[in-house]
Each structure stands twice: as structure tokens, then as C-alpha cells.
A and B are shown apart, each in its own frame.
Chain A
Amino acid sequence: MDSFAIHPVNRFAGSSAAIRRPKEIAYFSYDDEHKFHLDERSLRYYYPPRLGADLSKGFNTFQQLNDTADDHLDSLLNTIIDLERRTGTKCTADIITWRGMMTKIMATPFDNMNGFEMNATRFQDSIFIEENHEHKIESKKAQQDQPSRPGAPSQDLMAYWGYKFETLSLMPDQWDPTSRDFIEGREDMVVNNHAQYCSVVKTGIGKAKMVIGGEVDALWDCKPDGKDNPINWVELKTSAEIENDKDNMKYERKLLKFWIQSFLLGVPKIIIGFRSKNGILQRLEELETKNIPTMVKKQGRGTWDGNLCINFTASFLDWLKQTIIGEGVWRIRRRQRSPVVEVFRKEES
């Protein structure tokens, strides 16, 4: 077993390693029934929701995606294969994975509470990483079994608020062609989280080149004409209204996740819907992704450091490339509060 020391994290401080601006190379959609399509049918556009909207409305009609099955990297790989076929060139990268895996890795220096377990396979020159499905199911269950504070909304309801906020904020088309009736009718729409638009980007941290797939919520304006121009994506988040220091601390920690997620796919803007304790949308805040680390440092308590996350990731991926060098399935694991990330070969193929 090999292990990579997380601590002391200070050794990753300083100006950040080279990063390559994420560039969309392909995309796919899941439709309303979560069927896979190699197109952008589930692309959405942002138009702000009405303040005062009740995020709980329609909870009983929520059409929730059942994600108990292990989808592995299927959709991502299908999309890459299609891309290779269309372009006739091989899509090369050191790491190929979902955005979620990279988020966990990148947050490691400042997240002691959540462990992770991933499976990795080397194929030709690329390492493919996916979540260990059993671990995912287990940790989800553990979270659900946690007793919630009396009177507090259930975990399910709070999860619904996030999807409801998206439904309130999204349109299937740009503002001009979208009817007033649609925009104003969004509060009464059934919330359905089956549909997704996933962007597949090429990016890089340090020496590691990566292809990452992940869901993006919406476009701010439209996709640019030139393929090389950055896309004005919008990430939607909800957060409890900040009332005291403790809330503020919690919010700052949340910002770490928000920032990493958006950073990895090149999403420049995050819109946060602040809600009351009982799920009434109070106000919106637009954050520029690139400003968040500075904001946390200068105006917040400085509970995390963006550059440090980048440098940690650069080092870790570099190490990973040298560690995962044989056939078979490898396990990448960090136990809760553990000072190291462990990597070991799970089985020979």
C-alpha cells in the first residue's frame, strides 16, 4: 500500500501550479427519463426566480432520480468514444473521471470530515477514476440515519429545495424566445431531476492533463461562436440565510465545494439562492468563481486556501500517475480524519 501525506498542508502553500483553462470538448444530455443522448437537449438557460418563492412547494410531486444503480463511467466514456470517432483522433489525458471525484480530491486539505473511496484503472496512458459505488451507498445511508434536529426540515426536503431552486431559475431556451407564461409558470412546475446536461472538458492541473465530465446547470447567455471561447456557465446553489457567526463559518466551508466544482469545469459564475430556515427564497447573490478564494481570504475567516488546493491536487495527481502503474483495479481511499490518502491494488484483472 502506498500513501500520500496530506499533512502538513502548508507545504502546498504559495502561488498555484499551472492550470489549464477548462475547454469543453464534448457534451451529452440525460432527458426527463434520464436516458442518455449525445446532444445538448437538456441545456438550460438562467433567468432569476421570483424572490419570496416557497422552495418546498411541490415536494410531494417531486420526480426524483433513483441513483442506486452503479453507472460507472459509462456516459462519459460513450461521449469520449463518440468524440474520437467524429474527430478521428485519440482523446488523451492522464486522468479521466467525473467532476465529483476531482472535487473530493481537491478539497482534501480542508475537509477532514468526509472520507472517500474510488476505484482506478490504468488503460494505455490514462487513469480512469470512478467512485466506489458501495461506499457511496453506505455513506449516503449513514448520513440519512443521522438524527436530524427536532423541528428541522428533513434531509429529503432540503435536497428538494436545491432542485426546486433550479426549476425556478432555469429555462429550456434563451430569454427572448421563452414565453412570459413559461417564466412565470416555473413556480408551479413539477420538479424533475432526471434531466442533466453534462459538459466534458479538457483541463489540467500541474503536470496532469485531465478529461472531466460533470453536470452544468445553465448558460448565462449563449454558447459562443468560436469553439475556443470560454462558455458563460452558471452554477446554481442554495444556502441558508446567514444569521450568525456559526452560519458564516458553515457558509464559508460550503464555498470551498462551490468553488472547486465550478473551477474544475470552468464555470465562471455561481448564483446562490439564500433561503430562510423554512425554505422561502430570500435573496440571490451572484459570485464570480475566480473571486471566491480571495473573498474567503480577505472578507471571511480564511478557513481554506484555493491555491493550496490546486497545489495539493497537482502534487497528488503527479504522485498518483507514478503510483498506479499496473493492470487491474486500484483503490484510492481516504478514511475520515485520516492524514493520508491510500492507494493500493484491489485485485488483478
Chain B
Amino acid sequence: MRFLEAVKVALTAIAANRLRSALTILGVVIGVMSVVLLVAVGTGARDEVTEGIESLGSNLLIAVPGEPGPGQPPGRRSFTVEDVESLRRDLPPGAEVTTNLTGGERLRAEGEETGGTVVGVTPEYQAVTNVEVVRGDFFGESDLTASRRVIVLSAGAAENLFGERDPLAQQVTIAGLQFRVVGITGEAQAAAFGPQAAGSQVYIPVTTAQRLFNTQQLDTLLVTAPDRDRLDAVASETERILTTGPGVDREVSIVTQDEILGVAGDILDTLTLVLAAIAGISLLVGGIGVSNIMLVSVTERTSEVGLRKALGARTRDITRQFLVEAVVLCGFGGVVGIGLGVGLAALAEAVTPLPAVVTTWSVATAFGVSVAVGVIFGVYPARRAGRLEPVVALRSE
């Protein structure tokens, strides 16, 4: 029997038992759907984090206090404004230096309230991390020296606090202190410390932030090299400046954007793989379901097998018929599962903040695996069918 005939016979058998066929492939549908959906969410997260880190600028170095490596909690504040000044003084010309000091606060204005990540920075921060200001301006050097209470709102925070009204020159209250709004950042604002903060990050002068948070210290120092070739040189120079000097006794870790990208990418790749593996388990369960129902189907169609053998079917023809049926069923389940997975990924992206990116490889793999599931879990029932003796098969009525 030719292959196309076998497919036709399989389609006829599947169509003849629509409900049972649908139940058979349900497991495969759900399995493939989960693989596609979870990989899409994992990939989306990876893309967004990568994009966030890349938008910081490729020549960026971040200095954090403490030894590099696991087990070291970040954010042990030990940098001061003096460190910023000595870097500015001693680094080669062309290197930009800025810093930040971050804290979570409630922002209030005219009865409205929103949560926000308040980041104290120097004016250079805008250029160093590519902050886009769409309305008004970033604050300047004089605001820093005078510790003025000025604030650059994120688009999200501005909308939460002021709605449709123009927030420029309005007052925002943080911890009882009044701030004047001088600028608004763009919608797709990248954040230095993870995309989760992107929507709610607001900027104030770092000197003002030190008063607000009641500290003399800073979180991190950010340095840009004039170009990529001098990145390493600037990095070691930065480390030397920060770890030497009278009375200085501390460890400093300098990380480049490439290192962050590498680590974050590795973590998110692992996450995606774990998600795919979990979804893969449901595919396996689906495959066992297919095997189960195919065995029932073989038993039910014993006399059909006997008849086909009496009419001239070889063992091979019967085995192939049932195998093709299992593969067609699973392939169909795979297509339905991919459709649902892609649909749910689009839905997830539309209604939740989770980005979801459906990749070709996940769709292709999911389909390939579901067909493979059909082959693997169809072989045993199909061989059983093929081995049925025609006499025994015809007798079972």
C-alpha cells in the first residue's frame, strides 16, 4: 500500500471517530501548546532584558562595592560623592562618570498616588544610559550643586499622577518633600537595573536623593569609556582609582555590559529550557495517552485487521496503517497545539506585562516532537495490529 493511501485510510479512520480522536490528541495539543507558550514567554523575557541592558550603552562599566561572585549581596553602599569626583579627575579625558542611589518611594500629587523607583543621579546619567526625555528637560549641574528638589518623571508615573493634564512644573510629593516636575521620559524607557522598573523609574539629583534617603553614600558608579577599544583600560583604571588612596580599604567589582548580558542571557536561557522541559513532560504524558487509545483502537478493529489480511494486506501494510494513523493524529494535535500556543502567547502579551515572542525553532521543535511522539507511541500498538493472525482477527465479532 502506498504512503498516500495509508494517510487516506488514517484520515478516514480518524474522521470516523471524531470524539475519540479529539480526546486522543488532547494530551498532545496541551503539551505542544505549553511548549510553544512557555518558550515564547521565556524568549520574550530574555529579549526584553537583553534590550534593556544593551540600551545602557555598549561602552558602559558599572562599579559596585564588594567582591565579585555569588553570595555577595549587592548594594552595600560604600561609594561617596568624593569617588565620583576622583574618577572625573583621574580618568582619561572622554570618559563620562555618573552614579546612582536608588530607593522605592510613594509619589503623590493632587490626591493621586503611585509607587516609584526614585533614582538619584547626576546629569551625565542621561547621556551615559541613554535616557530619552520627551518633554521638558533633564535637570542640570546647578540643580545638583544646589540639591534642588526637581524630578524627571517616567511616562507611566506622569500618567498615574496627572492623567491627561500637563505635569510639567507641577508639584510631586515624596516622603513629605515637594518636588517640581522638570521633564518626562519616553515610553520605552530602559532601566539600569532590570526592565521591571522601567515603567516607574523617576530621576532626582543624587545630592537631593542623599538627603531624601538620609545617607552620604551611593549605590553604584557608572563609567563610559570613550570607545570600546579603551573599555578594558578604563575598567582597570577605574578599579585602581577606587581601591587605592589614603585610607581606602575596599573591594570593588567592575562589570561590563557584555558580562551582564552574558550572565542574564545564560540565566534566562536556562529558565526557558526548564520551562520547555516541564512542558515536554506534558507532551510525554500526551504520547502515553495516544498509545493507550491506539491499543484500544486496535482491539476494537481486530476484525477489520482480519478482513484486510484476508484481502491481501501484509503485516507491514497493517503496521504502517496504524502507525500512520498515530502520526497523523499527533501531527494534527501538534498543529492545533501550535495554533493555541501562538494564540495564547499573543493574548498573554496583550493582557499581561509579560512579553511573549514565538520563535520558529520552538514551533518547529514542538511539531517535530509531536510527530515523533506519534511514531514512538504508535509503534507498539501498530506492531500488535500487524501481528494479529487473520483467523483469530476474523473470528472476533
Answer yes or no: are A and B bound together in one complex.
no
